[in-house]
Amino acid sequence: MKFSLSLSCLMLCFLLFIGWSNFSNKSIDGEDRVANVLRKLGKYDDSKYPNQNVKGNVSAEAGRMLVEEGFAKKTNGKKTKKQSKHFVCTSCHNVVKEDDDLANPDPQERLVMSEQLGIPFLQGTTLYGAVNRETYYNGDYEKKYGELVEPARNDIREAIKLCAVECAQGRELDQWEVESILAYLWTIDLKMDDLLFNGEELDLVEKAINNDHDQELAAEIVESKYSKGADAHFVYPPADRKKGYDYEGNPENGKLIYDNSCLHCHERQRYSYFDLDNSKLTFKYLRNKAKGYAPHSLYQVIRWGVPVKSGKRSYMPQYTKEKMTDQMVEDLRAYIEKRAQ
C-alpha cells in the first residue's frame, strides 16, 4: 500500500515533470503576439504603444467605442461628441482578420472569406493587425494625395487622425481619443497563429529565441509572413462601358459583392443617402446606368468613388485593384443584369 502510493506519487511527479518541461521548451504559443516574438528577436518599436499619460480617459474600451460606435465616454462618464455624422470607422474597415495568407492578400479570396465569416467586404484595409504594419496610405494614395498623407506614411497616430477627418469626414480626434484607438488596435494585433509557418521555420524561430543566435534571420522569417503595408493601385473604368472589362462575369460571385459590400452601406441608406435593395427596379436602374457616363455608373463609382458634394459631406471611397479586380467588377455587373431581367 505504502509502496504503491509512493510509486504513483513518483509517476505523478514524472508526468508533471514531462508536462512542465514540454511547456517550458516551447517558447512560442499560437496566441503569442507577433510583436512580442519580434521583441524577443531584438526588433521593436515602442513609439507605437499608447501613451497612457495623456490627459483624458485613455483606454482600449474607449477606443473600441470610437471605432465601432463613433463616440466614447469621457472621464466624467459623459459621452463625447460624435466623431462623424456620416460614418463610423467600421463603415469602411473590418476589425477582424480578413485574409488567410497575410503575406499575399487577394481580393477574391477575401470576398469568399468575408462571406464565410459573415463580415462585410470593404474599401479600407482591416484594422486587425494595423499596428503591425509599418507604412500607411501606400501606393497610389501616397502618389495622389502626396503632402496630405506624408505625415501618416510611417506614423500610425497620424494615419488614424487623417482618416477620422478625411475618410470619415468628421471632427478631429482629441489626443486621448487617438491614444485610446491605439490601445484598442493593440487588442487586435497579429498573433502567431495568424501567420502561415512551416515546421522548419517555427523551429528556427524557437531556437533563435532560446539560444540567441540566428535572431536576424528568424525575425526576417516572421516578418515575411505578413504584409508591412497594404498596397493600393488605382485602376480606371473600361474605355468602353457598354462592353465593360474584357472578362466574362460570374453572377454568383457578383452576388457576394453586392450583398457583402454595396448593401453594407446602402441598404436602407445606412451610411449613404442613396438607397439600394433587392428589388428589380433597383437592379434595372443600376443596369441601365452601368453602360453610360453618368456619375451613377457602376464603373464610375467603383473606380473613382463618389466625391464629397458641397453641403453633403458624405462620399464613397473607390475600390483599388487590391480591393476589387476588374474580373470582380464584371461579376457584379453580371449579377445586376441577371436580377434586372
What residues line the site for ligand HEC (CB under 6 A)? 67, 83, 87, 89, 91-93, 122-125, 130, 133, 136-137, 141, 159-160, 163-164, 167-168, 181, 230, 232, 257, 261-262, 264-266, 271-274, 295-296, 298, 301-302, 306, 314-317
Q: Minimum distance from CB of 18 to ligand HEC (Å)?
A: 44
Cα→Cα distances 189→126, 127, 238, Å: 11, 9, 38
Q: Minimum distance from CB of 23 to ligand HEC (Å)?
A: 36
Question: 326-341 burial string, b = 16+ CB within 10 Å, else e?
Answer: bbbbbbbbbbbbebbe
**Count of CA atoms in the C-beta half-sphere (13 A) of 186:** 19
Q: How many residues does the chain have?
A: 341
Q: Minimum distance from CB of 103 to ligand HEC (Å)?
A: 15
User: Closer to ligand HEC at the Cβ: 91 or 215?
Assistant: 91
User: Closer to ligand HEC at the Cβ: 19 or 292?
Assistant: 292
Q: What is the largest CA-CA distance in the chain?
A: 92
Q: Write out the three cell numbers for 273.
A: 443617402
Q: Are 297 and 237 in contact (CB under 8 A)?
A: yes
User: Closer to ligand HEC at the Cβ: 215 or 272?
Assistant: 272
User: Closer to ligand HEC at the Cβ: 145 or 197?
Assistant: 145
| Closest alpha carbon to 138 in 298, 320, 341, 1 | 320
Cβ neighbours around 221 below 10 Å, total: 20
User: Closer to ligand HEC at the Cβ: 57 or 215?
Assistant: 57
| Cα radius of gyration rounded to whole Å, the chain | 24
| Closest alpha carbon to 76 in 62, 91, 97 | 62
Q: Minimum distance from CB of 159 to ligand HEC (Å)?
A: 4
Q: Minimum distance from CB of 9 to ligand HEC (Å)?
A: 56
Q: Write out the three cell numbers for 11.
A: 509517476
User: Closer to ligand HEC at the Cβ: 40 or 133?
Assistant: 133
Q: Minimum distance from CB of 257 to ligand HEC (Å)?
A: 6
CB-based burial label for 108 (10 Å; 0-12, 13-18, 19+): middle
Q: Minimum distance from CB of 76 to ligand HEC (Å)?
A: 22
In whole angstroms, give the CA distance from residue 253 to residue 248. Answer: 12
User: Closer to ligand HEC at the Cβ: 60 or 204?
Assistant: 60
User: Closer to ligand HEC at the Cβ: 153 or 207?
Assistant: 153
- Residue that is written with C-alpha cell 487623417 in the block: 162
Q: Minimum distance from CB of 67 to ligand HEC (Å)?
A: 6
Which residues make Cβ contacts (< 8 Å) with residue 158, sequence separation at least 6?
Answer: 151, 152
Q: Write out the three cell numbers for 60.
A: 482600449
User: Closer to ligand HEC at the Cβ: 119 or 218?
Assistant: 119
Which residues make Cβ contacts (< 8 Å) with residue 88, sequence separation at least 6?
Answer: 67, 68, 69, 70, 168
Q: Minimum distance from CB of 208 to ligand HEC (Å)?
A: 28
